[in-house]
Structure 1
Amino acid sequence: MSTETSNLPTPHRILAGKRALVVGIANDQSIAYGCAKAFHEVGADLALTYLNDKAKPHVEPLARELGARLFLPLDVTAPGQLEAVFDAVRETWGGLDILVHSIAYAPKEDLKGGLLDCSAEGFARAMDISCHSFIRMAKLAAPLMADGGAMFAMSYLGADRVVPNYNVMGPVKAALEASCRYLAHELGPQHIRVHALSPGPLMTRAASGLKDFDRLLNDAISRAPVGELVDIMDVGYTCAYLASPFARRLTGSTLYIDGGANIVA
Structure 2
Amino acid sequence: MSISTLPGSLAGKRGLVIGIANEHSIAAGCARAFAQAGAVLTATYLNEKARPFVTTITDALPCDILMPCDVQAEGQLEAVFEAITQRWGKLDFVLHSIAFAPAADLHSRVVDCSAQGFATAMDVSCHSFLRTAKLAEPLMVAGGTLLAMTYIGSERVIPHYGIMGPVKAALESCVRYTAVELGPKKIRVNAISPGPIATRAASGIEHFSDLLDTAAREAPEKELVKIEDCGDLAAFLVSDAARMLTGTIIPIDGGEHLLGA
State the TM-score, normalizing by the size of structure 2.
Answer: 0.96
Aligned residues: 255
- Stretches of structure 2 that go unaligned for 5 or more consecutive residues are 1-5
Asked if the contact 1:50/1:74 (under 8 Å) is kept, the reply is yes
Distance 1:246 1:194 in 2: 14
The 3-state SS of whatever aligns with 1:65 is coil
1:222 aligns with 2:213: no
Paired residue type of 2:130: I
The equivalent position to 1:235 in structure 2, one of 227, 230, 237, is 230
Asked if the contact 2:39/2:62 (under 8 Å) is kept, the reply is no
1:147 aligns with: 142
| CA shift digits 1:48-89 (9 cap, x unpaired) | 000001101111121111131100000000111111000000
1:158 aligns with 2:153: yes
Per the TM alignment, residue 228 of structure 1 is displaced from its structure 2 partner at its CA by 0.8
The 3-state SS of whatever aligns with 2:63 is coil
Asked if the contact 1:48/1:68 (under 8 Å) is kept, the reply is yes
Asked if the contact 1:113/1:167 (under 8 Å) is kept, the reply is yes
| CA shift digits 1:146-187 (9 cap, x unpaired) | 000000000001001100000000000000000000000000
Distance 1:147 1:48 in 2: 21
Paired residue type of 2:186: H
1:22 aligns with: 17
The 3-state SS of whatever aligns with 1:235 is helix
Distance 2:135 2:79 in 1: 10
Distance 1:13 1:139 in 2: 26
Give the fraction of aligned pairs with identical amino acids, expressed as a percent. Answer: 56
Distance 1:222 1:13 in 2: 32
The equivalent position to 2:182 in structure 1, one of 187, 193, 199, is 187
The 3-state SS of whatever aligns with 1:143 is helix
Distance 2:220 2:67 in 1: 40
1:108 aligns with: 103
- Stretches of structure 1 that go unaligned for 5 or more consecutive residues are 1-10
2:3 aligns with: none
2:132 aligns with: 137
